C-alpha cells in the first residue's frame, strides 16, 4: 500500500468545511487526473447542511445537485503522526454519478460512492482498482489507522460478492474499525477491491460490507463533470 494513498477528506462548501472519515486516491482508468473516491454517506453532515436529499427514496435526485455546491475537498495524510497538518492538496470537481445515492438497507452498498478529480498539484499517491472483484474465500485487508499502533490494515476474508453486495468477515472478531467508512479494502497486491461502507457484529463475528470494484467501475463509466465548478 503506497504512502499518501489513503487520506482524510475535508469537504468544503465556500467557507464552510466538514471532515469525513476516509477517502483514497486511484488512477483514472479512463485517463486524466487521478480520482478521489469515498462513500457518499461520508458526506452526510455536508449533505444535511445544504438541505439536499440524496437518499434512494428521493426519486427526483439526479446526482448533479451535490456537485453543484461542493467547492473542493482538502486531502490529509491520515497515517501521518499529526494528520491535521499533513495536507496533501485538493480535489475538484466532484463528479456527477447519476446512480449514486444513500439510505438503502444494509448490506446493499453498490450506490454508496462519491468521486472527485484530484488537482495536478496534489501530493497524494494514486493506487489502482483491482482487475477483478474477489470471490468468497479470498483474503482482503481494510486500510485503517489503528490508535497507538504502526499497523495500517485489518485482515478479513470475503464471504459474499454479488452484483449489489460485498461482505467480508474480519479475521479477529475483536478487531474494530470505528469511523472507517470510505476507507479502501485492498487485496494482497494493494489494489482496491472495494470502498468500505460499514460493519457490525453477528453470531459473535464481525462483518463489514462495501461497494466493490466492479460496481465502482460501473459508476465511473457513467460519470460527467458537473455544470458548476469545472476545472
What domain count does the chain have?
Answer: 2
What is the Cα gyration radius of the chain? 16
In a domain, 229, yes or no: no
| Residue 6, SS3 per DSSP | strand
One domain for residues 192 and 91: no
Distance between CA 118 and CA 151 in Å, rounded? Answer: 27
> Once rounded to an integer, what is the mean pLDDT over residues 58-86?
95
In a domain, 225, yes or no: no
One domain for residues 81 and 56: yes
One domain for residues 110 and 15: yes
One domain for residues 14 and 118: yes
Q: 210-227: per-residue pLDDT in tens? A: 999 999 999 999 765 454
In a domain, 189, yes or no: yes
For 49: left if phi > 0, alpha if psi spans -120 to 50, otherwise beta; the answer is: alpha
Contacts of residue 62, Cβ cutoff 8 Å, sequence gap at least 6:
96, 98
One domain for residues 108 and 159: no
75, 11 in Cβ contact below 8 A? no
One domain for residues 11 and 116: yes
Q: Is the pTM of this model over 0.75?
A: yes
In a domain, 88, yes or no: yes
Question: Confidence band (pLDDT; 50, 70, 90) for 182?
Answer: very high
One domain for residues 32 and 84: yes
In a domain, 209, yes or no: yes
Q: 149-158: per-residue pLDDT in tens? A: 777 899 999 9
208, 143 in Cβ contact below 8 A? no
Q: Mapped to the 3 state alphabet, what secondary structure does 39-66 carry?
A: CHHHHHHHHHHCCCCCECCCCCCCCCHH
**What domain range is 156 assigned to?**
139-213
One domain for residues 98 and 195: no
Tell me what pLDDT residue 175 has: 79
Amino acid at each position: 500500500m503506497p504512502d499518501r494513498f489513503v487520506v482524510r477528506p475535508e469537504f468544503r462548501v465556500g467557507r464552510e468545511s466538514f471532515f469525513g472519515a476516509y477517502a483514497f486516491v486511484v488512477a483514472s482508468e479512463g485517463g486524466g487526473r487521478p480520482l478521489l473516491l469515498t462513500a457518499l454517506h461520508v458526506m452526510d453532515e455536508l449533505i444535511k447542511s445544504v438541505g439536499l436529499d440524496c437518499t434512494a427514496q428521493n426519486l427526483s435526485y439526479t446526482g448533479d445537485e451535490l456537485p453543484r455546491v461542493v467547492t473542493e475537498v482538502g486531502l490529509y495524510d491520515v497515517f501521518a503522526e499529526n494528520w491535521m497538518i499533513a495536507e496533501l492538496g485538493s480535489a475538484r470537481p466532484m463528479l456527477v454519478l447519476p446512480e449514486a445515492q444513500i439510505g438503502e438497507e444494509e448490506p446493499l452498498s453498490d450506490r454508496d460512492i462519491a468521486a472527485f478529480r484530484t488537482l495536478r498539484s496534489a501530493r497524494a499517491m494514486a493506487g489502482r482498482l483491482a482487475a477483478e472483484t474477489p470471490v468468497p474465500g479470498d483474503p482482503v485487508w481494510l486500510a485503517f489507522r489503528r490508535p497507538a499502533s504502526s499497523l495500517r490494515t485489518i485482515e478479513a476474508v470475503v464471504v459474499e460478492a454479488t452484483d449489489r453486495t460485498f461482505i467480508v468477515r474480519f479475521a479477529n472478531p475483536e478487531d474494530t474499525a470505528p469511523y472507517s467508512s470510505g476507507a479502501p479494502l485492498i487485496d494482497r497486491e494493494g489494489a482496491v477491491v472495494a470502498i468500505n461502507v460499514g460493519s457490525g457484529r453477528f453470531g459473535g463475528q464481525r462483518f463489514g460490507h462495501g461497494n466493490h470494484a466492479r460496481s465502482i467501475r460501473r459508476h465511473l463509466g457513467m460519470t460527467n463533470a458537473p455544470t458548476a465548478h469545472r476545472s
